[in-house]
Structure 1
Amino acid sequence: MSLGARLNKRITLQVLAAGQDEAGQPLPADWMNVIASGDGKLWAEVRDVSGREFVSAGATQNQVLTTITIRYRVGVLPKMRALHGTDVYRIEAVLGQDQRTLTLMCSRGAA
Structure 2
Amino acid sequence: MRAGDLNRRITIQRRGDAKGGWGGSPKPGADNWEEVGKAWASIKTLSGLGAIKADAEMSVVKASIRLRWRADLAAGMRVLHGGTVYDIKAVLPDTARREHVDLVCEVREG
Q: Compute the displacement of 1:43 (Å).
A: 0.2
How many residues are matched? 105
Secondary structure (helix, strand or coil) at the match of 1:23 reads helix
Q: Which amino acid aligns with 2:5?
A: R
Is the contact made by 1:18 and 1:26 (CA closer than 8 Å) also made in structure 2?
A: no
Question: Cα gap change, 1:60/1:4 in structure 2, threshold over 3 Å: closer, same or farther?
Answer: same
Residue equivalent to 1:72:
69
> Which of 28, 33, 36 is matched with 1:34 structurally?
36
Residue equivalent to 1:3:
2
Residue equivalent to 2:87:
90
Q: CA–CA distance in 1 between the matches of 2:22 and 2:32?
A: 18
Q: CA–CA distance in 1 between the matches of 2:102 and 2:2?
A: 13
Mark the runs of 5 or more structure 1 residues left unpaired by the alignment.
36-40
RMSD between superposed Cα atoms in Å: 1.9
Matches within 5 A, 1:19-30: 19-20=18-19, 23-28=22-27, 30=32
Q: Which amino acid aligns with 2:62?
A: L
Sequence identity (%): 32
Q: CA–CA distance in 1 between the matches of 2:60 and 2:35?
A: 24
Residue equivalent to 2:107:
108
Q: Compute the displacement of 1:19 (Å).
A: 4.9
Q: CA–CA distance in 2 between the matches of 1:65 and 1:24?
A: 37
Displaced runs of 4+ in structure 1, greater than 4 A?
19-22
Question: Cα gap change, 1:52/1:22 in structure 2, threshold over 3 Å: closer, same or farther?
Answer: closer
